[in-house]
Homo-oligomer: A and B are copies of this chain.
């Protein structure tokens, strides 16, 4: 490992060396995708550059044509995960007027997404240690959007009044943990059932 003198890690915009050809583009993608699988499976530290490149079917040195550092691929993956999740949920809730319905659709979309991308899901968790800044960005961006949506829904009288900030985090937490139950703890419960129970909690709480 290199220094990393306690201070700020990577993240931000770290272009690495962008490819300038279709061939390069393909290789870069292959490495990125291999990194997702290998890091997702073994974790950041046990995933060596050698593992990643061999999984990608390229030589070890090729890695450094497109990425400046091991940490950088990782950051890129976290960033990608963030974009993908937000995009997926936005897509799924597109055009749904009622916030409660949107909440249900969003939860469903999220759970389906994490089932389809279990590796990315685990990677985000590890970011807390490998690239704290990316981790923060991931959750804060998500929370900000969530909060805005809740506030709008409050104005429209679609949901009750309440602290949108805290609610946003709490609701994120619900999705996150239910997703984890699926992917990490390998629950066999069908998504529709989980969503039904989760939605009921979100909408009505547990008061009798």
Contacts and interface: CB of A to CB of B under 8 A. Distances in A.
A104 B164 CA distance: 19
Interface residues of A, number: 56
Interface stretch (A21-29, A80-88, A154-162): A154-162
A193 interface: yes
Given A177-B176, A208-B159, A170 B185 contact: no
B205 A204 contact: yes
Contacts of A43: 129-130
A12 interface: no
Interface in A162-208: 162-163, 165-167, 169-178, 180-181, 184-185, 189, 193-194, 197-198, 200-208
A202 B193 contact: no
A55 interface: no
Interface stretch (A30-38, A56-64, A120-128): A120-128
A122 B135 CA distance: 13
Contact of A177 (B45, B172, B201): B172
A170 B200 CA distance: 11
Contacts of A194: 166
A18 interface: no
A163 to B, nearest CB: 4
Nearest to A136: B185
Contacts of A167: 197, 201, 206
B181 A177 contact: no
Contacts of A157: 208
A100 interface: yes
Contacts of A207: 100, 159-160, 203-204
A190 to B, nearest CB: 11
A140 B201 CA distance: 20
A204 B201 contact: no
10 contacts: A45-B129, A136-B184, A136-B185, A172-B177, A173-B173, A176-B176, A177-B177, A203-B206, A203-B207, A204-B204
